[in-house]
A and B are shown apart, each in its own frame.
Chain A
Amino acid sequence: MKRRDFFKASIAASAAVMGTSLSAGITTRPIDGRKISKYAFPEKKPLITYSDRPPLLESPRSVFTQSLTPNDEFFVRWHMPDIPTHIDPDKYSIKIDGLVERDLDISLTSLKNDFEQVEVTAVLQCGGNSRSAFHPIPGGIQWGSGAMGCAKWKGVRLSDILDRAGLKKEAQWIGFNGKEKAAYYKTPNFVRELQLEELDDHVIVAYEMNGEDLPYLNGYPIRLVIPGYYSDSWVKMLSRITVTDKYKSLFFMDEAYRVPDNATESETPQKHFKSTKPITTMNVKSVIGYPENGASIAYNSQLVVRGVAFDSGLGIKDVKISLDNGKTWENATLDNDAGRYAFKSFRFSFKPNKYGKVTIMAKAINRLGQEQPLAKDVLWNHGGYKYNGIDTVTIEVV
């Protein structure tokens, strides 16, 4: 959202609240503090668990004190009930076909040895992250704020693979297919299509995450990494890349992961906006990792607020903290520099000097001056996508 759009959005939001409240969707802060499940999934610590089939796991808030999300705490989201329970890395390969000069079948070993190896640190976030903030609830999983994470991904540039195959001149769209399967033959496969012009050298076919093989549930042995984009296009267990000249109509492209195609990307529950567009790039967002809601902190002790901020890769300029419900804002210290697609971790020290409830708010601002709106000013959309309201935790000073 451009800055100008943001102001428009704010105006529209206040109009909605002042005027016909009946037709307006309302946005609050997403559900927080859900319980960690007692089930540990393969290669994962127990996380917030919504489903075992397909597996849906969310990272708890405390994970976001770190600029890299540990693999065993990284969120998990699959779409189909049937994911292979066995992968033989010695036999795994990806096929590249369609409008190419040479069909390729690249083994995992060849991917690791016959191409230039590159790394990128990038945030992976579900487009529906924080969906539980929207009311009435749009369908879909009612995520809190933990359907996101940041990792250092290692692999091979997609462009190098496509160069090796040789694109024909009619090539326009690239389809990506993973190994998850539906229960019914007629159910649409989870195929994503991207236009050739959307793909730059930062897009990689990755086999490593934070120095380890990809965890099974994060797409072992190979997944697509598209820095700056929401995770719906980061196809897991990538098995096939098909080049076409035409866009194929697909459920997961035409119906899911889309927002209203208007300046504020919003609509009302009663009247959905007719045309939609893919969610594509991420808006500016931050999440506080520490302290957590309801924490008891001793009066006048040295408290360090920590969290992470990111956007689509324009880069985070500032993270501001407010302790007075948004009246005044102070700069937090920004720590790491792992590149423009990475979590930028922030910290802010203060000594709570009044007893009782203290609310801590964090607001990220990127290099274009785009900043997070208040939770109530995030506009409603029927898929519950792209929530990026200012994060807030309330502690008890005792």
Chain B
Amino acid sequence: MIKKLILIAGLSYSALFAQVKGDIEVPYIAYEIKMGKGFDAVNANCLMCHSFGYILNQGQQSKEFWHKKIDKMITHFKAPMTVEDQKTILGYLYQHYGNGKLK
């Protein structure tokens, strides 16, 4: 009985390890983000650190909200965004994911 138990323990160990011995592949999700003026800047800057899921999940928001998000990425996460790209991205986000309110 004891031998059997040890055998089972041994087997389960190797099986568990086998799961992660190889490379892990996280699926790629093609988020349905809106195309439009300024999208190239969004694609080049935002996607470096996170998927479009992050943007879509916020829902329709004010211009100030999106401005603060861009600011957070620059100030706290050190995203190297040109001033021109910041403006372009804000315009894009507000046009496609804005709620019509400035604040």
A residues near B (Cβ < 8 Å) are 37, 39-43, 49-56, 80-81, 83, 85-89, 136-137, 139, 141-142, 182-184, 186-188, 212-213, 216-217, 220-221, 251, 255
- Residue B53 CB within 8 A of the other chain: yes
Which residue in A141, A184, A212, A221 is a CB contact (below 8 Å) of B78?
A184
11 additional A-B residue pairs with CB within 8 Å, beyond A141-B57, A142-B57, A213-B20: A51-B50, A51-B54, A55-B26, A86-B23, A142-B59, A183-B49, A184-B78, A184-B80, A213-B19, A216-B19, A216-B24
**B73-91 contact mask (Cβ, 8 Å, vs A): 1 or 0:** 0001111100000000000
Which residue in B20, B29, B76 is a CB contact (below 8 Å) of A251?
B76
22 contacts between A and B (CB under 8 A): A37-B29, A39-B27, A41-B26, A50-B57, A51-B57, A52-B27, A52-B28, A52-B29, A53-B50, A81-B49, A81-B50, A85-B23, A86-B22, A86-B24, A137-B58, A139-B72, A186-B78, A188-B78, A212-B16, A213-B17, A217-B26, A221-B20
Residue of A whose beta carbon sits closest to that of B52: A51
A182-B49 contact, Cβ under 8 Å, with A50-B54, A139-B68, A187-B77:
yes
Inter-subunit contact B57/A41 (CB<8 Å): no
List of B residues within 8 angstroms of A216 by Cβ: 19-20, 24
Inter-subunit contact B78/A39 (CB<8 Å): no
List of A residues within 8 angstroms of B23 by Cβ: 85-86
A81-B48 contact, Cβ under 8 Å, with A51-B53, A51-B57, A137-B61:
yes
CA distance A220 to B21 in the complex (A): 11
Q: Which of B10-61 contact A (CB under 8 A)?
A: 16-17, 19-29, 48-51, 53-54, 57-59, 61
With both chains docked as a complex, state the minimum distance between the C-beta of B29 and any C-beta of chain A, in angstroms. 4
With both chains docked as a complex, state the minimum distance between the C-beta of B51 and any C-beta of chain A, in angstroms. 4
- Residue B96 CB within 8 A of the other chain: no
Residue of A whose beta carbon sits closest to that of B78: A186
List of B residues within 8 angstroms of A85 by Cβ: 23-26
Residue of B whose beta carbon sits closest to that of A255: B76
Nearest 5 pairs between A and B by C-beta? A51-B53, A186-B78, A52-B29, A51-B51, A213-B16
With both chains docked as a complex, state the minimum distance between the C-beta of A86 and any C-beta of chain B, in angstroms. 5
Chain B: interface secondary structure? Answer: loop
Which residue in B51, B57, B58, B78 is a CB contact (below 8 Å) of A53?
B51
With both chains docked as a complex, state the minimum distance between the C-beta of B68 and any C-beta of chain A, in angstroms. 7
Inter-subunit contact B57/A54 (CB<8 Å): no
Inter-subunit contact A184/B59 (CB<8 Å): no
With both chains docked as a complex, state the minimum distance between the C-beta of A138 and any C-beta of chain B, in angstroms. 10
Inter-subunit contact B25/A137 (CB<8 Å): no
Q: Which of B59-73 contact A (CB under 8 A)?
A: 59, 61, 65, 68-69, 72
A87-B20 contact, Cβ under 8 Å, with A52-B27, A55-B26:
yes
With both chains docked as a complex, state the minimum distance between the C-beta of A280 and any C-beta of chain B, in angstroms. 21
Inter-subunit contact B29/A39 (CB<8 Å): yes
Residue of B whose beta carbon sits closest to that of A220: B20
List of B residues within 8 angstroms of A50 by Cβ: 53-54, 57
Inter-subunit contact A89/B17 (CB<8 Å): yes
Residue of B whose beta carbon sits closest to that of A81: B49
With both chains docked as a complex, state the minimum distance between the C-beta of A342 and any C-beta of chain B, in angstroms. 23
